[in-house]
Amino acid sequence: MSIEAQPTGPAPPAAKILVVDDTPANLVAMRLLLRGTGAQLVEVASGNAALAATLDHDFALILLDVQMSDIDGFEVAALLSDDERTRDTPIIFVTAAYRDDLNRLKGYRHGAVDYIAKPVNDVILLSKVRVFLDLYHGKRALKDLLAQLKQRNAELQAEVAERKRLEELARHQAGHDALTRLPNRLLFMDRIDQAVRRAQRQRKGFSLLYIDLDGFKPVNDRYGHPAGDRALQVVASRLQNVVRHSDTCARIGGDEFAVIMDGAESDDAQRLGEQICRALREPFCVNPDSGDGPMAQLGASIGIACFPESAAEGAEPLVLIEGLIHAADEAMYIAKRAGKNRCHVARGSGLLQAGG
């Protein structure tokens, strides 16, 4: 994955070098020697001042004298190496104390990465300083690149999450009615197919309730389409309040609804049908936003078919589904012809009436 070029902005600040020496002449000499490196020099004359400077600055390199009047360079290096913020800052000891291996080992033990013996060889010092400045610039460039990668990764994760959200929304909208937010006919057919296959696999039954509203057209004609939409939303809400969470309640047509009761016997389905009839008979306000809008009342004719009683034995799932829906639909029409606002249960090849 490539990283897009960032917009040109202000140049990054110059790398900083801390020079620590209690001899003013040595500080001046270092200043003159390092002025061509492009680094910003911070000069201090004591160990305590060096520690204080590291609190205010991020240094690419520290050139540290060992022998100083307050605390020596070894102690300064040890304290810096114990601090999480400064432990990775390279330290070069610049001192006459490195005349034997013991002093060199002591310096390395206290956190030094290199040393320069006095009197200083200008070429050697400049060469080593440039090496550490290059390392610092490379480290900073890598840090910036990692920050860009982290930002881009966060952006990609956000894009993926948004794409998943939109895909889930599209799937939901494809399978749900926009007005009532119930599953639509497409999702209903998928759910009833699952119910048939699950019932065959587990040898358990389920029931289908086919619901056609009574009195919907007069409400729609008298109060207008917004009132009709309100009525359908009220019906959907009341159905969801009555059915179980495990049941599927769907809007399958203009004023037609269906409920799939998983694992339910005919008696359970009949009781639910009667509950639905009672719930939908309750009056509702056509325009609740007005505060005193007109009241309207609906009813429901419900046909109930149970699996496997109302299904053709040994048939393919699609044939079983068509037969079950047909049986429930026929039962619903019998409920309408019998006076509406009631339910009928289909049993085998016949239809059994139940009270409303």
Residues labelled as active-site residues: 255
Distance, first Cα to last Cα, the chain = 67
Q: Are 307 and 327 in contact (CB under 8 A)?
A: no
Between CA 54 and CA 59, with CA 55 as vertex, the angle to 5 degrees is 35
Bridge-partner residues for 91, per DSSP?
62
Q: Read off the tokens for 189.
A: 């057919």
d(CA 103, CA 95): 10
Determine the 3-state secondary structure of 80 from DSSP.
Answer: helix
Sheet holding 299-307, edge to edge: 248-251, 256-262, 206-214, 299-307, 342-347, 350-354
CB atoms within 10 A of CB 98: 19
Q: Read off the tokens for 170.
A: 């599209």
Exposed e or buried b for every residue in 25-52, given b needs 16+ CB within 10 A? ebbebbeeebeebebebbbbbbbebbbe
Q: Read off the tokens for 109.
A: 């033990």
Q: What is the CA radius of gyration of the chain?
A: 42
Q: Are 328 and 346 in contact (CB under 8 A)?
A: yes
d(CA 346, CA 334): 10
d(CA 65, CA 307): 93
d(CA 185, CA 175): 8
Nearest in space to 208 (alpha carbons), one of 280, 262, 166: 262
d(CA 264, CA 312): 19
Q: Are 273 and 227 in contact (CB under 8 A)?
A: no
d(CA 9, CA 13): 12
